Amino acid sequence: AIEKTGELTTIMTSEIPTGSTKLSRFGVEEFLASGIIVLGIEEIYGNVERVMYIRKARWAPVKPSKYIFDIVSGKGIVIREPLSEYLKRMRRG
């Protein structure tokens, strides 16, 4: 969750219990945050891929799309491509 007040940005992490439909463990964190980025893992055509999407971005227009990403040493999270493009490429072979 991301919260910005003046010149300060606060980032809070929260885990989603396996199998849960909630966005957070306690169910209140998402109401406190200005922004929520959801990270997950999905099996796609037999490949296990990291997937992310912006669930909430208060006061900012955000296209509701999922993206494939990697975690790269020295760089952190690197977005590879939109999930829709990845799926098109995988279908073509």
What are the structural domains of the chain?
A: 2-92 (3.40.50.300)
- The predicted model scores a pTM of 0.77
Concatenated DSSP letters for 40-51?
EEEEETTEEEEE
User: pLDDT tens digits, residue range 2-54?
Assistant: 566 677 777 778 888 778 777 777 777 778 788 888 999 999 999 999 999 99
Q: How far apart are CA 54 and CA 57, in angstroms?
A: 7
Write 89-93 long-range contacts (CB < 8 A, 24+): 90/44, 90/45, 90/47
Q: Tokens standing for 54? A: 């912006």
Q: In the prediction, which pLDDT does 3 show?
A: 62
* Type and span of the H or E element at 79: strand 76-82
Q: Check whether 85 has a pLDDT greater than 60.
A: yes
Asked if 45 and 90 touch (Cβ cutoff 8 Å), the reply is yes
